[in-house]
Amino acid sequence: MTGATDTAVPASTFERDIRDVMPALLAYFVRRVRPQEDAADCLSETLVVLWRRRADLPTNPDAQRAWTFGIARGVLANQRRGRVRQTQLADRLRSEIAVQPAQAVDSTDTESALDALPERDRELVTLIVWDGFGVAEAGELLGLKPDAARARYSRARKRLRETLAAG
Amino acid sequence: MITDDELTTRLARADAASNVRTTPETLDALLVATGELEALTRPRRFRRVALLTGGVVASLAVTAASPVGAHVIDSFVALTGWNPAPSSEIIENSPWINTGASDFEEYARTIYPADLALPASVSSETVFDYGVAAHQQNPGTTQAISVVRTFETAAQCAWLGEFSEARAGGDTARADAALAVIRASADWPAIVATDGGGIADSIRDFADNAVDGDVRIGSLGIDCAGFDAVQDAAQAAAGESAE
């Protein structure tokens, strides 16, 4: 809490744990940031925060993943406020993302249906379907109780089915 | 209406990350480089340099006299004068201070936010003493803003205590008033300045959920145990002196 404390977590242990979750974190940002290559800067910023808070990193892999995504959510919020800067560290990753081919499948209608959902419902659905979280886990990330998350998820899917059928 | 399976398929097709490929080497390089940069910019690495600088400044502090003006503040031993290269860890325009300096408490008094809102049951001295002690327990070099952040976090703990107590006692008006301050704390200067990962958002989310009756103090990620113990001790002492 003081900001002056140091951490006892060895760098090698931290790197090993974070290395495993980095592709998922990058995918999280690629799905939510435009232009896509800005995901590199978001990942870089997330790593900085993770390094700084590595003493708080849970030991359980599932808890680790949820915790790192919680930090990624915060970075995403900052990115949307224009508070994530481009860094040279992320240049190489930025270049790799920038040359990715466009999606072969036109999914404009699905994206529009998702955009029509309230923000928290959209995030709940995408955390579950794209990022692979369970309903309760995704709800926890969004500050929802498991029952509330299940009810919201069910309602959101129903609304998506209706919107896509109407389109 | 489309089926649930069809919806799942269409959502999967709309996944923008499905066509993004990166090499493990690139991710690894970013991770390692971030760690190296972080190690270079961590204040503790520079503590020895800062303490040497502090020795030079000490002679000025002895002659410092009130009132506390800018030229006097400049002479605190606690002010290291250290000015590192910018990085994402560094908050601009916040001096680097040595929390182990003999006049750290005196310096901290000059940066304590006089307008920091507190419940009636908590004194500013309690918050100040807690903040100073917290930094003195782990002496080192940090930015002044982090000390202010500790004061602000202690105030948040005070309001969380006020909120919990009022809620437990069924005092809705008092609980609502406390919740309003907790929500407003998302905009407190040091919390905003040091927010590297959505802290302000988590505060607002907490307040939104609490209004709906979903109270999850744990979601704030604030450890109030230390402050609560200090506040309990202060109240016990106040009770003894009143008897």
Is B12 part of any domain?
Answer: no
Residue B122 placed within a domain: yes
Question: Taking the CA atoms of chain B, what radius of gyration do you get in angstroms?
Answer: 23
- pLDDT of the residue at B241: 62
User: Per the structure, how many domains does chain B have?
Assistant: 1
Confidence of residue A10 (pLDDT cuts 50, 70, 90): low
- Provide the pLDDT for residue B136: 86
pLDDT the model gives residue A149: 92
Find residues 110-129 of chain B whose CB sits inside 8 Å of chain A: none
Task: Convert the pLDDT of each residue in A124-138 to its tens digit.
Answer: 999 999 999 999 999
- Which pLDDT does position B148 carry in this prediction? 93
pLDDT in tens, B184-234: 999 898 988 887 667 888 888 888 888 878 888 777 877 888 888 888 888
What is the pLDDT at residue B36?
Answer: 76
> Looking at chain A from residue 91 to 150, which residues have their Cβ under 8 Å from any Cβ of chain B?
92-93, 96-97, 100-105, 107, 110-111, 114, 125, 129-130, 142-145, 148
With beta carbons less than 8 A apart as the criterion, state whether B101 and B77 touch. yes
Any domain includes B125: yes
Q: What is the 3-state secondary structure (H, E, C) of chain B?
A: CCCHHHHHHHHHHCCHHHHCCCCHHHHHHHHHHHHHHHHHHCHHHHHHHHHHHHHHHHHHHHCCCCCCCHHHHCCCCCECCCCCCCCCCCCCCCCEEECCCCCHHHHHHHHCCCCCCCCCCCCHHHHHHHHHHHHHHCCCEEEHHHHHHHHHHHHHHHHHHHHHHHHHCCCHHHHHHHHHHHHHHHHCHHHHHCCCCCHHHHHHHHHHHHHCCCCCHHHHCCCCHHHHHHHHHHHHHHHHHHC
For residue B17, give the amino acid letter.
A
Range of the domain at B206: 42-242
What number is the average pLDDT over the span A59-76? 89
Does the CA dihedral B37-B42-B44-B50 come out positive or negative?
Answer: positive
- The answer to whether position B32 is within a domain reads no
Using the predicted structure, report yes or no on whether residue B183 has a pLDDT greater than 70: yes
pLDDT exceeds 90 at position A56: no
- Which residues from A are below 8 Å from B228, CB to CB? none
- Predicted complex ipTM: 0.85
Instruction: Name the more confident of A147 and B218.
Output: A147
* Residue whose structure tokens are 């599932």: A62
What pLDDT is recorded for position B45?
32
Which residues on chain B are in Cβ contact (under 8 Å) with A8?
Answer: none
Q: What is the mean pLDDT of residues A5-23?
A: 74
Q: Best mutation site among B2, B30, B151, B183 for testing chain A: the one with the most A CBs within 10 Å?
A: B30
Instruction: With cut-offs at 50, 70 and 90, classify the pLDDT of residue B155.
Output: very high
Query: Is the residue at B23 inside a domain?
Result: no
Confidence band for B238, pLDDT divided at 50, 70 and 90: confident
* Cβ atoms B56, B102 nearer than 8 A: no
Cα separation, B202 vs B187, in Å, equals 12
> B116-140, pLDDT tens digit by residue?
999 999 999 999 999 999 888 877 7
pLDDT, position B196: 67
Q: A29-43, A76-90, B58-72, B213-227 — which is least confidently predicted?
A: B58-72
pLDDT at residue A114 greater than cutoff 70: yes
pLDDT in tens, B28-77: 888 888 877 766 554 433 333 233 223 222 222 222 222 333 333 345 66
8 A C-beta contact, residue B162 and residue B119:
yes
B55 lies in some domain = yes
Question: Residue B89 falls within a domain, yes or no?
Answer: yes
What pLDDT, on a 0 to 100 scale, did the predictor assign at position B61? 27
* Contact across the interface for A2 and B15, Cβ inside 8 Å: no
Q: What pTM, to 2 d.p., does this model score?
A: 0.52
Q: Which of A18, A36, A129 sits opposite B11 (nearest CB)?
A: A129
Q: Which domains does chain A have, with CATH numbers?
A: 1-100 (no CATH), 107-167 (1.10.10.10)
| Digit-coded pLDDT (tens) for B85-104 | 555 456 667 888 888 888 88
Q: Are A21 and A68 in contact (CB under 8 A)?
A: yes
In a domain, B87, yes or no: yes
Q: Which of residues 200-239 of B touch A (CB under 8 A)?
A: 201-202, 205-206, 208-209, 214, 216, 219, 223, 226
Q: Is the pLDDT of residue B159 over 90?
A: yes
Do B193 and B94 contact (CB within 8 A), yes or no?
A: yes
Distance of alpha carbon A23 from alpha carbon B21, whole angstroms: 9
